[in-house]
Amino acid sequence: MLSFNFLKDAGVSGKKVFLRADLDVPLANGGIEDDTRLLSAIPTLEYLLSQGAKIILAGHLGRPEGINKSLSLEPIAKWFAKQLTINNLQLTKIGEFEGWEIGPNIFLLENLRFFAGEEKNDPGFAKQLANLADIYVNEAFADSHRNHASITGVPKYLPGFAGLHLQQEIEVLSKVLEKPKRPLVVVIGGAKLETKLPLVEKMHHLADYVLVGGKIARDVKTLLKIQHEKIEGRKSALLIADLNLDETDVTPKSIENFLQIIDLARTVVWNGPLGKISDNKMEMAKSEDGSRKLAEGLVKSSAYTIVGGGDTVGFLEKACLLDKFACLPKNRCFLSTGGGAMLSFLSGEKLPGLEALKARPTSPATLA
C-alpha cells in the first residue's frame, strides 16, 4: 500500500475542499448514459457535507479543444442536484471560473479541459485552482494515471487526501498484487494493445490463469505465446480465445473453456469486453454473446470479482447486467471506475495522481 493520507485523516470542518472527481461519463441525447463513475463520488460528497465542508467539485468531460458547449458539465451539475435532492441549481462564478452552485455548500466548475493549462499541467493554472480551497481530495482514480494540473499540480500547493472510493480502489487492487485468494484468474479483452499488453506480461508472473479475448487475442496471439514460453520459474497458464469467422466475438468453445477455469477461481479480474462493442442491436447479438456469457458466469461463481474499464462497465450497463454485479455482496464484487488507471496500477506502474498525494504541499498563503 502506498503511504498517503486518506480523507478521514483530514480535518475538513469549515474548510473549502477541492474535490477532483471522475465526471467523464458517456452522454446520449443530452442525458447521462452511464452514471457509475458519478455514483462513486457520492459517499465522499456526503461525508464532506456531514463534516461541514464547502466543496469545489471539478473534473472534465471528453476531449475538447478549447471551449465546446456540447461538452459542458451542465448535465453533470443537474445530475448531482437531482441525486442530492437540491432544486436551486444556479449559474455562478467561483473565483475566476464559471460553474454552478448546486447547493449552499457545493459548487461545480465548468469542464477543466476547456483550459489549455489543465492537460499541460501548467503551474499557473494549478495555482488558480488551488487558490479556491484549503484542502485537496482526489476521488478520480480513473484519471490518476494522467499528469494533469488538477491531478498532480494542485496537490503541490494544498494538503492532499484520497477520497473514500479512491481508497477502496487502492486497497482492493493492492490485494490482487500482494495477497490474492487463489486461484487468481485474469481476463483481458478489448482492443487497445498498447495498454493491455503490459498487463498480460505482468500477470504472466502473478496470476494462476490469464485468459485473453477481444481484438488483442487476434493481434498478438503468436507474440503472447512466445513471451509465455520464455518465462522461467512460476508462471500462469495462458489461454487465448479463438475468434469467430468475422472476428467480432470469441467462439462458443473458447467461452466454454474460460467458464470452466472461472469455476475454479477464488479471485477474478476482468478488464475489456471479449467481442466488438456496438450500438446496433443486431450487431450486438452477434458480437457480445461471449461477454454476456462471461458476465453471467461471474455473477453465478463464488469468486471475488473485480470488473474495470469504461468499455466493460458500459457493456454491462447496455446488456442490463450491471445491476446484477452491483447487487452482489461487497465481499463478492468490486466495480472499479478505472480503465487505463486500473491497467497501469496492476501492471506495477506508479500513478502520478497517487504519487502526488505523497508530496509535501506549499502553504496556500504563498500562492498569490
Q: Is the pLDDT of residue 41 over 50?
A: yes
Q: Please provide the average confidence, as pLDDT, over all residues in the chain.
A: 88
CATH number at residue 338: 3.40.50.1260
Task: Choose the weakest-confidence range: 111-115, 132-136, 242-246.
Answer: 242-246
Percentage of the residues of the chain whose pLDDT score is greater than 70: 90
Q: Do residue 223 and residue 357 come from a single domain?
A: no
> In whole angstroms, what separates CA 321 from the centre of its chain?
18
Task: Identify any residues that bridge with 162 across adjacent strands, giving them in sequence order.
Answer: 6, 138
Q: Please tell me the predicted confidence (pLDDT) of residue 185.
A: 95
Cell numbers for 195, please give them: 495498454
Cell numbers for 132, please give them: 479556491
Q: Do residue 230 and residue 203 come from a single domain?
A: yes
Host domain of residue 21 = 7-167+351-366
Q: Is the pLDDT of residue 43 over 50?
A: yes
Q: Do residue 316 and residue 196 come from a single domain?
A: yes
Q: Is the pLDDT of residue 365 over 70?
A: no
Q: Is the pLDDT of residue 279 over 70?
A: no
**121: in domain:** yes
pLDDT tens track for 206-240: 899 999 988 777 767 767 777 777 766 666 888 98
Residue position matching grid coordinates 494533469: 148
**57: in domain:** yes
**246: in domain:** yes
Percentage of the residues of the chain whose pLDDT score is greater than 90: 59
pLDDT tens track for 69-80: 999 999 999 999
pLDDT tens track for 302-336: 999 999 988 898 889 888 899 999 888 888 999 99
Q: Please tell me the predicted confidence (pLDDT) of residue 1.
A: 47
- Confidence grade of residue 46 (pLDDT, cut at 50, 70, 90): very high
Per-residue DSSP letters for 267-294? EEEEES-SS---S-HHHHHHHSHHHHHH
Q: Report the DSSP pairing between strands 106-109 and 97-103.
A: antiparallel
**2: in domain:** no
Q: Is the pLDDT of residue 93 over 50?
A: yes
- Average pLDDT rounded to a whole number, residues 347-358: 90
Q: Please tell me the predicted confidence (pLDDT) of residue 327.
A: 86
Q: Do residue 225 and residue 138 come from a single domain?
A: no
Q: Please tell me the predicted confidence (pLDDT) of residue 286.
A: 62
How many structural domains compose the chain? 2
**304: in domain:** yes
Q: Is the pLDDT of residue 367 over 60?
A: no
**1: in domain:** no
Q: Please tell me the predicted confidence (pLDDT) of residue 130.
A: 97
The answer to whether 277 and 311 are in contact (CB under 8 A) is yes
Q: Do residue 356 and residue 320 come from a single domain?
A: no
Q: Do residue 326 and residue 252 come from a single domain?
A: yes
**136: in domain:** yes
Q: Do residue 102 and residue 158 come from a single domain?
A: yes
Per-residue DSSP letters for 313-334? HHHHHHTT-HHHHHTS-TTTEE
Q: Where are the alpha helices (DSSP H) in 188-270?
A: 193-206, 215-219, 221-230, 252-262
Q: Phi, psi (5° rounding) for residue 13?
A: -60, 125
- Average pLDDT rounded to a whole number, residues 103-111: 95
Q: Is the pLDDT of residue 113 over 50?
A: yes
**87: in domain:** yes
Highest-confidence segment of 213-217, 244-248, 285-289, 362-366? 244-248
Q: Do residue 36 and residue 183 come from a single domain?
A: no
Q: Do residue 286 and residue 341 come from a single domain?
A: yes
**pTM to 2 decimals?**
0.89
Q: Please tell me the predicted confidence (pLDDT) of residue 193.
A: 66
Q: Do residue 311 and residue 357 come from a single domain?
A: no
Q: Please, is 43 exposed, middle or buried when counting C-beta atoms within 10 Å of its C-beta (0-12, 13-18, 19+)?
A: middle
pLDDT tens track for 122-168: 999 999 999 999 999 999 999 999 999 999 999 999 999 999 999 99
Q: Is the pLDDT of residue 359 over 60?
A: no
Q: Please tell me the predicted confidence (pLDDT) of residue 278.
A: 67
- Average pLDDT rounded to a whole number, residues 187-215: 82
Q: Do residue 115 and residue 180 come from a single domain?
A: no
Q: Please tell me the predicted confidence (pLDDT) of residue 4.
A: 72
Q: Do residue 181 and residue 285 come from a single domain?
A: yes
Q: Please tell me the predicted confidence (pLDDT) of residue 9.
A: 85
Q: Please tell me the predicted confidence (pLDDT) of residue 368.
A: 44
